[in-house]
């Protein structure tokens, strides 16, 4: 695939763009609950904590393990944290380049689109994030299916289950939707063309992965019930209201994704035009690729509409334009210029909005020139420009509070857990007392609230972990308070004390 000097040069350019952009923009400012989502949990896993068994996991399990490995190799620090997402960004940029190139687009155009894709995929968040992992690996799965059908080689069929294993155990949606889509397209292609060479490699690799999961659960003494409730059953209760309220054809939704819908219309026009010119085109391999792309874009928009996150699918603009250009006849210069213009406009617009202004991290209204050095809080944050849009005061003030908090926790010899959005603090104090929850989002997304049918099960799980670890104290750090979890504890079973303006101590007494 990269056998000549020109291809190797393109590879280097994509890697440099993908990695540098993610490191640079990922280090500008923080939105604590997102910025440190997998920092302390990966540190805890590295030190023997087991997801599903020791803490509640509703998505992102594989991110914890990947990050734990990177921490183990490169040390627990901010640069190693960003390395994880930067690697994924580079992989996505490279595979996008290979897809477009193998679909007939020349190398300069393929490189242009791959660079734009790399700028709009992971850098908008910068840090490891479950939605990004899930959708990027899902699209890599789409690429693998296209390669499987195009070249009819078993190695691509073997790769498909592995890719979607990573995507699904990063986050169930949208990976689950993509799995259904690819299954339908594969079956349709097989029935029409009477080709079933995919059955054996996919079945074999799927069985291997299934037994790997069973082996993982058994060797780590994870209850099957815990695994299924946390990762399969409880997540189905999230977003039920959102699903019923979503209007896929609302003007507001179309307006938010206007450039993506414009590219989708262009793709539909090209597809219909090709069918009108050649009725047999519908049954050709390329036709299946177009159908696959159209459906995958609709899935991405649908999933984005169900999430509460900022929009993170603008990388579809250069991806769609590149795919459209690969379908064009060589004499269609007007369309080529139009697609390049859309890509350039969309990339520049959303690069400024999400990378430079850090909109995904809720920093678009923050003066990003005013920041403190991350190492002033703790050396593990070296390279991070600290400014937090959630904090109402000066960044220097927040840094002082965090330094005071870390010092106090270092000096406490009791057994405690920390409830916080600043999930680098456990790593900073070098203690392995991880909370029974990875996140505390307080909106029912991370764990079952009182009105959820799995709340009783969750309450028992949480309290049991506190009891097993013989926890004496729970620390909360603003903006989170003890009310975040008071529904899992008995009333009046703790006494509270303010340590500093953001740190509160809650001593447990007769809670279990």
Q: Are residues 430 and 353 in the same domain?
A: no
In a domain, 383, yes or no: no
Q: Are the CB atoms for 85 and 70 separated by under 8 Å?
A: no
Q: Take residue 424 and report the two structure tokens written for it.
A: 């680098």
Report how far residue 273's alpha carbon sits from residue 269's, in angstroms, rounded to the nearest whole number. 6
Quote the CA–CA distance of 216 and 191 in Å, as a whole number. 36
Tens-digit pLDDT profile for residues 398-449: 999 999 999 999 999 999 999 999 999 999 998 888 899 999 988 888 999 9
Same-domain check for residues 14 and 60:
yes
pLDDT on residue 243: 57
Whether residues 414 and 328 share a domain: the answer is: no
Q: Which is higher by pLDDT, 405 or 193?
A: 405
Q: Do residue 265 and residue 401 come from a single domain?
A: no
Choose among 101, 119, 118: nearest CA to 110: 101
**Is residue 299, in this structure, part of any structural domain at all?**
yes
| Backbone phi and psi for residue 503, each to the nearest 5 degrees, phi listed first | -105, 130
Contacts of 69 (CB under 8 A, 6+ apart): none
DSSP 6-53: HHHHHHHHHHHHHHHHHHHHHTEEE-HHHHTTTHHHHHHHHTT--BTT
Please state the pTM of the whole predicted model.
0.95
d(CA 125, CA 131): 10
Q: Is a pLDDT exceeding 80 seen at residue 2?
A: no
Contact assessment for residue 36 and residue 424, using Cβ atoms and an 8 Å cutoff: yes
Nearest to 64 by CA among 429, 381, 434: 434
Last residue of a domain, one of 308, 338, 361: 361
Token reading at 460: 């028992």
Neighbour order of strands in the sheet with 28-30: 28-30, 385-388, 372-373
DSSP string, 153-220: -HHHHHHHHHHHHHHHTT-HHHHHHHHHHHHHHHHHHHHHHT--TTHHHHHHHHHHHHHHHHHHHHHT
404 and 312 housed in the same domain: no
305, 338, 361: which is the final residue of a domain?
A: 361
Residue 380 maps to a domain: no
**pLDDT reading at 221 higher than 60:** yes
- Is the CB of residue 17 less than 8 Å from the CB of residue 93? yes
**Number of structural domains the chain divides into:** 2
Greatest distance between any 2 Cα atoms in the chain: 79
Residues forming beta bridges with residue 55, ordered by sequence position: 51
For residues 322 and 400, membership in a common domain is answered with no
199 lies in some domain: yes
Q: In this structure, is residue 202 part of a structural domain?
A: yes
* Pair 398, 356 in one domain: no
Minimum mean pLDDT range among 98-107, 246-255, 259-268: 246-255
264/495 Cα distance (integer angstroms): 58
Residue 161's domain spans which residues? 5-237+250-361
Considering the domain architecture, whether residues 58 and 127 belong to the same structural domain is answered as: yes
Q: How do residues 276-318 score in pLDDT, each as one tens digit? A: 998 888 889 999 999 999 999 999 999 998 887 789 999 999 9
């Amino acid at each position: 695939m990269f056998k000549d000097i020109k291809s190797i040069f393109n590879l280097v350019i994509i890697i440099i763009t993908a990695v540098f952009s993610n490191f640079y923009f990922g280090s500008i400012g923080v939105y604590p609950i997102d910025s440190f989502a997998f920092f302390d949990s990966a540190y805890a896993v590295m030190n023997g904590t087991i997801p599903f068994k020791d803490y509640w996991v509703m998505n992102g399990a594989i991110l914890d393990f990947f990050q734990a490995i990177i921490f183990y190799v490169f040390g627990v620090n901010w640069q190693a944290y960003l390395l994880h997402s930067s690697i994924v960004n580079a992989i996505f940029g490279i595979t996008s380049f290979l897809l477009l190139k193998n679909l007939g687009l020349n190398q300069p155009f393929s490189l242009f689109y791959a660079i734009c894709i790399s700028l709009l995929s992971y850098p908008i968040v910068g840090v490891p994030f479950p939605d990004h992992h899930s959708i990027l690996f899902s699209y890599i799965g789409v690429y693998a299916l296209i390669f499987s059908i195009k070249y009819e080689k078993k190695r691509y069929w073997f790769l498909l289950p592995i890719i979607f294993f990573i995507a699904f155990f990063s986050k169930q949606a949208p990976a689950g939707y993509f799995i259904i889509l690819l299954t339908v397209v594969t079956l349709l292609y097989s029935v029409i063309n009477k080709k079933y060479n995919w059955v054996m490699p996919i079945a074999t690799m799927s069985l291997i992965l299934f037994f790997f999961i069973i082996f993982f659960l058994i060797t780590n003494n994870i209850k099957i019930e815990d695994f299924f409730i946390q990762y399969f059953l409880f997540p189905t209760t999230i977003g039920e209201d959102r699903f019923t309220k979503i209007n896929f054809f609302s003007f507001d939704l179309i307006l938010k994704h206007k450039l993506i819908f414009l590219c989708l219309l262009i793709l539909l026009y090209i597809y219909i035009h090709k069918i009108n010119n050649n009725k047999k085109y519908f049954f050709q391999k390329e036709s299946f690729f177009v159908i696959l792309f159209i459906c995958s874009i609709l899935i991405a928009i649908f999933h984005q509409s169900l999430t509460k996150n900022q929009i993170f699918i603008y990388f579809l603009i250069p991806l769609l334009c590149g795919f459209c250009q690969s379908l064009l006849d060589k004499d269609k210069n007007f369309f080529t210029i139009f697609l390049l213009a859309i890509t350039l406009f969309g990339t520049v617009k959303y690069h400024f909005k999400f990378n430079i202004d850090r909109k995904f991290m809720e920093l678009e209204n923050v003066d990003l020139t005013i920041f403190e050095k991350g190492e002033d809080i703790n050396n593990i944050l070296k390279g991070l420009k600290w400014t937090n849009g959630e904090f109402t005061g000066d960044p220097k003030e927040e840094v002082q509070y965090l330094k005071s908090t870390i010092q106090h926790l270092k000096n406490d010899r009791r057994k405690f857990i920390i409830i916080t959005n600043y999930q680098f603090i456990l790593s900073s104090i070098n203690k392995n007392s991880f909370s029974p929850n990875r996140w505390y989002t307080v909106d029912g997304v991370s764990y079952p609230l009182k009105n959820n049918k799995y709340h009783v099960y969750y309450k028992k799980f949480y309290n049991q972990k506190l009891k097993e670890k013989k926890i004496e104290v729970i620390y909360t750090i603003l903006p989170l308070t003890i009310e975040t979890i008071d529904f899992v504890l008995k009333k009046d079973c703790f006494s509270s004390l303010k340590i500093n303006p953001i740190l509160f101590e809650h001593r447990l007494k007769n809670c279990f």
